[in-house]
A and B are shown apart, each in its own frame.
Chain A
Amino acid sequence: MVAEAAAAVGPGLTRYAWVVAVLPFVSAPLILFFGRRTPGRGWIYGVASVGAGFVLSLGILWHFVQGGGPTASSVSWFQVGPFTVELGQYVDGLTAVMFIVVTGVSLCVHVYSIGYMHGDARFTWFYVVLSLFTGAMLDVVVSDNLFQLLVGWEVMGVCSYLLIGHWWEEKVNSDAAIKAFITTRTGDVPFLFGIFALVFATGFTTSNIQQIGEMSAAGEMSSALMIGAALLLFGGTIGKSAQFPLYVWLPDAMAGPTPVSALIHAATMVAAGVYMVARLFEVFIHADPLVLTVVSVIGAITLLLAAFLALVQDDIKRVLAYSTISQLAYMVAALGLGEAGYAPAMFHLFTHAFFKALLFLGAGSVIHAVHSNYMSDMGGLRTSMRTTYVTYVIGSLALAGIFPLSGFFSKDELLVAAYHDKTYWLLIVLLLGAVITAFYTMRMLVLTFGGEYRGHEHPHESPRSMTGPLVALAAATVFVGWLGFGPTNAPFFDWVFIGHPEDVSFVAWIAIVSTIAAVGGLALGYVTYVKQPAREPLTRLGPVYTLLENKYYLDDFYLNGIVYPIRDRLSAGVNWFNRSILDGIVHLFALTTRGLAAVVNLFDRGVIDGVVNGAGEGAEEAGGFLRYVQSGNVQGYAAILLGLGIIGVIVVAIIYVK
């Protein structure tokens, strides 16, 4: 049926999907080389390329709205022996939806940054990296094979590093950049080996994701290898999508400029890990139930740990960071349900990207106004920042999962998936997560916008270029949820599915329970914080609060258990080895060489110089003696000549006259 539809509709713009990914790679060098000489210092190129990409993405999505099927094309990149690596695109509904997310959010962030980064010393450079990042993410999305995906994946890592450390003059920021880079790298290593394992499992015939999927579905690959590969690949997700135990980098990554946090650390890059699992989902579901269980459990653990941590943060961006980790964990946990969780997880990724970008950009607007990240310096902003306030509330309610905002629909689908899959423990975890999410969301809202202003600035509304994206994202937050609502035929699930489009069922009691959970959490949060107590009410929790305050001591464990031992013991050992053994060998060689050189020196001075000088002195002595022969007396010369002539005659006579 799908094939018929594809034949009926035709490929449309999907053939040119790669253009969307190439555009930012064109604009990045343009900004780099001509940005400074362009009015606006280069943002025009970035906004133009991403805007064009967004329009194209809408065209590509239209193909799937009409019921079109996936298309694929590729060209040969390079060849290693019999193994060909290709450069290609695979466009299905998921690709199209991700295109909308990436280009849409990136466009908002590009426009928003015009105001937010205004006057920054490295404004042009900021836009270069922003473009490069968008291109890399689009490459991951459009890629039809593992190696092309890896390239985009790693370029994103570098861009993330550069942008977190954008204000590297402060050590905290460059430390955060290094931490993020190394932590995600820790996940990237298993990811790389996972790719090798998969390619090995195909017998080095292909790295094409669809072919690998078909082979794993057909059971043509060794199951042990598939389990290994899936777990290793999931290591990449744990790093990139900030799951337990590698989530520690994401809160620190908030050191970067806020638009970066919105684009990279909420909407797109961290979603790449989830997206990658979805892309290679055939491998995950056909490997072994164990793999999916691991995925689910990691997701569930992360979900709760991060949600609890969000309760005690004072930095508004850190609240959002932990909330991001927690929401990503929702998706990961849902993917662990298998086929039932695939589409809901992607739907949550889709809606979450919009409302989380909205929240981050709203937080950026607030920070821009009060010049502080700390909620203890905020409060009472609902009057002075009207647009930001309204859009922020919409984003927050979506995050909490209140009808009819997008977060409600996607979270509902996740709960329904867990219910249908009869994974009741996960259902309970998800509901518990929803309560905590609602609670800290309300805490954040009240501390930021409620009560009286506690800071020392004069907060004012941000410029148009910043509120515009907020309004656009708020509109998206309100409307995209309906795409996945059962009674509206849920078009989203006709675009994104695994196997066959599934029928979306609306389970009334789950919707009611989740709404009760959300409203309950919000109400609890409101009651706790409405009086704006001087002392954080959660401190009454005592040791639990201390545990949360110290982030479960996970950072301390990493520092004291891993980083310092490596730095102090291992490095000291290596240092000792280096100094004693390696330097010793080098010094030995040096000493031997010096000894030999001394011998050669002696020989040189004594014998060779002796011969040369001896010849010179001998010639001088002889000359000094012989010069007396030249007396200046011509008759003397004639006498010598005569004598020699006589001797010559005598000799000749003796020889010839016998």
Chain B
Amino acid sequence: MIQVALVDDQVLFRRGMALLLRDMADVRVVFECSNGAELLTGLRDNPVDIVLLDVEMPVMDGMEAMKRMKELHPSVRTVMLSTHADDAHIVEAMELGANAYVLKTAEPEEIENAIRAVAESGYHFNNRVSQVMLHGLVQRQQVKPVYPEVDPLSERELEVLRAICQELTTTEIAGQLFLSPRTVEGHRNNLLLKTGARNTAGLVVYALTKGLYSP
């Protein structure tokens, strides 16, 4: 069961999301709240797997909340739900460690897919986010992520990294590379250690910026 917290200052939006999530048998909304401060309070007693997080909220906005949440609850994953489609918001969210960035006006199916993908593989990149990351981060070099010098990645790790960039799940990667899912997870953890990336989204940024993968 995927445990979810729903954070948006507008009750109308929360209700819409709750209607959507009601049909997802494997998802349970543990709590709802209306700003980042309430989220941090709620997480003290109500652990969740994923937070569906609005960007603009009073008291504490989504970006600040995500920053603090990553320190206090590093295992909680974040799906940013926003009305901002511009590069700056997407890049900022992904840099802060968002596991997915989905527009509030996205098709319900995409929102469902994002939640399931983040729960299973740790991230969901739609075409828009991939495009922004590729063009914004790599080609125009407006943002230059800093990575520690790393041990060279093994051939197998490179294969796993490229498969991650293709949005394959752990199970799919295992099938494609004839490995067990546990071995794939091991390679993924090594990749995180070697690159210094904080999450799977960071691995994708690393692959793109180092030219190890091109969509």
A binds B: no
Binding site for A on B (CB under 8 A): none
